[in-house]
Amino acid sequence: MNNNSEIVESLYEDISSAGYNLEEIVSGDVIPAEEIKYKVRQLISLDRNFYSNLLYRLVSEEFEEEEAKKLWDEILLHKWDVSQKLGRNVGIRVATLDYLENIKKIIKTPKIIEEEEFIKTLKLATRDPLTGVYNRNYLFSFVRQKIKQRQNFCLAFLDLDGFKKYNDKEGHKAGDVILQEFAATLKLKFNDEEKYLIGRYGGDEFILCMLYIDKRAAQHILDGFRQEVQQQFAQIGITVSIGVCEYNSDSEKTDARDFEELVEKADELLYRVKEFGGNRVFRFRTIFFSFTAANGSKPKEVSVVGDFNNWDRKKGIMEYSKEENRWCKKMLLKPGTYRYKFLIDTNIWVPDVNAKYFADDGFGGKCSVIIVAEK
């Protein structure tokens, strides 16, 4: 699916989620907010099947776009004429059915398609043909919409361990069967689209959007799924690696501020699972660092720097709490073992005296060490 199609689908859902019926806007029965007017204009200019979709939605009949546009213009004239004769507004649904059935005699058994059913019809064109789950563009469009609505959810990236080796040995047809079986397992486990949406990113990588859940609970559910996959594919040695991130409207709880950062971090976690040998589920852990100056000194700047931020002072600058008389920094860290130090006023290095573990820093001194657990 190209970017244009992705935008079109997003516009349809934006208008629907705002509580409007598209045909009522286009016919003039409803005057929407300016933002929605703009979206409708965008939709008309971008969707090459706009009028054929519109009529299909109203009467469940398919027309070529050129014919549909001509019919729509005629329907609006008919609607205006009938409204004038009756002295009241005739809704677009009534006018459409009357014109196509009684005037043009094009349809005999019209069926009005509800908003929800129409959206489902659009989604049928957004499936991955091999596995039947949603394709990447549709699922990412869905995720963007949830972020725009500031709805809390988790995004998981899943990758099959050992698939490439199996695919190279057994052939692509056998590999396709494995992908279909895995997708079926996903759909069986996460079969409620009110809570979960499944997509295929490409190759042997899948995406799962989990609504109304935080990353701790999501990790627990996904770990149960990981174990099911391990048992199901034990004979061929295939397991699954999973990285899961949380988007939260509360800036203190979220792993990412926008769509791009969310995808980047989920992918980063998946890569870390692979580094650990796969067959795990990782999430970011919130780690709090604290530094209190000794001997009454008053530093102008303190940073916590280490393996987790490539020893970059600017990335680790801490905030001073006057009430607590200490420097603080909250970080989201992937599971792993990290060396770190505090950097005082850009030139004095000191270890964290409250750390549980220490290591040689290679310069005759010592680093603090922190171990970030998987769960």
Distances (CA, A) of 131 to 102, 277, 313: 44, 26, 46
178-204: pLDDT as tens digits? 999 999 999 999 988 889 999 999 899
* Token representation of residue 302: 């303190």
Domain 286-372 class in CATH: mainly beta
Distances (CA, A) of 318 to 30, 321, 342: 53, 10, 10
Q: What is the mean pLDDT of residues 253-277?
A: 93
pLDDT score recorded for residue 77:
92
Domain coordinates in residue numbering, the chain: 3-119, 127-283, 286-372
**Among the listed residues 10, 247, 4, the one whose alpha carbon sits nearest the alpha carbon of residue 138:** 10
CA–centroid distance for 142 within its chain:
6
- CATH homologous superfamily of 127-283 equals Reverse transcriptase/Diguanylate cyclase domain (3.30.70.270)
pLDDT score recorded for residue 128:
86
119-162: pLDDT as tens digits? 555 555 578 888 989 888 888 888 998 998 899 999 999 999 99
Q: What is the mean pLDDT of residues 360-369?
A: 88
pLDDT score recorded for residue 1:
38
Q: What type of residue sits at position 275?
A: E
164-178: pLDDT as tens digits? 999 999 998 999 999
Q: What is the mean pLDDT of residues 46-70?
A: 84
At residue 2, does pLDDT exceed 50?
Answer: no
pLDDT score recorded for residue 238:
96
Residue 259 to residue 140: CA distance in whole angstroms: 9
Q: What is the mean pLDDT of residues 337-359?
A: 93
Cβ(157)–Cβ(241) under 8 Å?
no
Cβ(142)–Cβ(209) under 8 Å?
yes
Q: What is the pTM of this model?
A: 0.65
Mean pLDDT of the chain, nearest integer: 88
Q: Annotate 14-68 with DSSP letters as a single string.
A: HHHHTT--HHHHHHTSS---HHHHHHHHHHHHH-TTHHHHHHHHHHS----HHHH
Residue 257 to residue 247: CA distance in whole angstroms: 7
Q: How confident is the model at residue 112 (pLDDT cuts 50, 70, 90)?
A: low
What is the spatial order of strands in the sheet that 285-291 belongs to?
285-291, 326-333, 319-321
